[in-house]
């Protein structure tokens, strides 16, 4: 499939402000700087649909986009800014958690930087999704930054910390667009 239309619907913090539950939702979540905005922009062929979130401390919102008039992309706030007050971290965590536990027809894409090992927050999020039995898939981002050998070694290391089957992971580069067709094919199959 191709994404022909991508329209901003609304931003929300609290569940009362989410759009009506009429559409399937594909949510994207990950540590800040993992490449989430770049991925959403590259998937939708839009340069600035999802805004990069470089400024810790700025209010974090959930952004909903209508894709091809059919389903929603949900851009969740990035977590894990190192230098931020705990109280703000907790608030963001709550915003993400509220969305993830809300009863909506959704699938969650957890983004992980292929070059990094799992952070504590990544691991917690994954454990937590398992615990609540929430459907999710992993997307390894920035694959262009590693050679094939390095990728292989890195995946081996990640597998020591986390189990996953090959059907549950995608690879993506917003620079080379590796993995874009596969991810769009998958989205087509579930929406």
Q: Which residues bind ligand GDP (CB under 6 A)?
A: 30, 32-38, 52-53, 78, 141-142, 144-145, 173-175
Rounded least distance, CB 43 to ligand GDP, Å: 12
Rounded least distance, CB 177 to ligand GDP, Å: 9
Smallest CA-to-CA distance from 172 within 138, 137, 142, 146 is with 142
Per the structure block, which two tokens stand in for 173? Answer: 């580069």
Comparing CB distances to ligand GDP, the nearer of 121 and 144 is 144
Residue 27 CA to residue 13 CA, distance in Å, equals 15
Three-state DSSP state, 7: strand
Q: Do 8 and 62 contact (CB within 8 A), yes or no?
A: no
Distance set, CA 156 to CA 15, 148, 149 (Å): 38, 12, 11
Comparing CB distances to ligand GDP, the nearer of 71 and 77 is 77
Comparing CB distances to ligand GDP, the nearer of 70 and 181 is 181
Per the structure block, which two tokens stand in for 116? Answer: 């990094």
Rounded least distance, CB 16 to ligand GDP, Å: 26
Rounded least distance, CB 188 to ligand GDP, Å: 22
Q: How many residues does the chain have?
A: 191
Report the relative pairing of strands 62-67 and 136-141 from DSSP bridges: unpaired
Comparing CB distances to ligand GDP, the nearer of 41 and 67 is 41
Comparing CB distances to ligand GDP, the nearer of 25 and 75 is 75
Contacts with 166 (C-beta within 8 Å, 6 or more apart), sequence order: none
Rounded least distance, CB 21 to ligand GDP, Å: 26
């Amino acid at each position: 499939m191709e994404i022909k239309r991508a329209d901003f619907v609304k931003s929300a913090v609290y569940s009362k402000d989410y759009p009506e539950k009429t559409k399937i939702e594909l949510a994207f979540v990950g540590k800040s700087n993992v490449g989430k905005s770049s991925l959403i922009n590259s998937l939708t062929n839009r340069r600035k649909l999802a805004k990069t979130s470089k400024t810790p401390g700025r209010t974090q919102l959930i952004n909903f986009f209508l894709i091809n008039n059919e389903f929603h992309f949900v851009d969740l706030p990035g977590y894990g800014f190192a230098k931020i007050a705990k109280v703000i971290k907790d608030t963001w965590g709550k915003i993400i958690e509220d969305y993830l536990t809300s009863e909506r027809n959704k699938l969650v894409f957890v983004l992980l930087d292929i070059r990094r090992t799992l952070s504590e927050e990544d691991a917690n999020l994954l454990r937590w999704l398992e615990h609540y039995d929430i459907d999710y898939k992993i997307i390894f981002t920035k694959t262009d930054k590693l050679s094939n050998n390095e990728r292989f070694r890195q995946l081996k290391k990640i597998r020591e910390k986390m189990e996953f089957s090959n059907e549950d992971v995608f690879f993506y580069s917003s620079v080379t667009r590796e993995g874009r067709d596969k991810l769009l094919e998958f989205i087509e199959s579930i929406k």
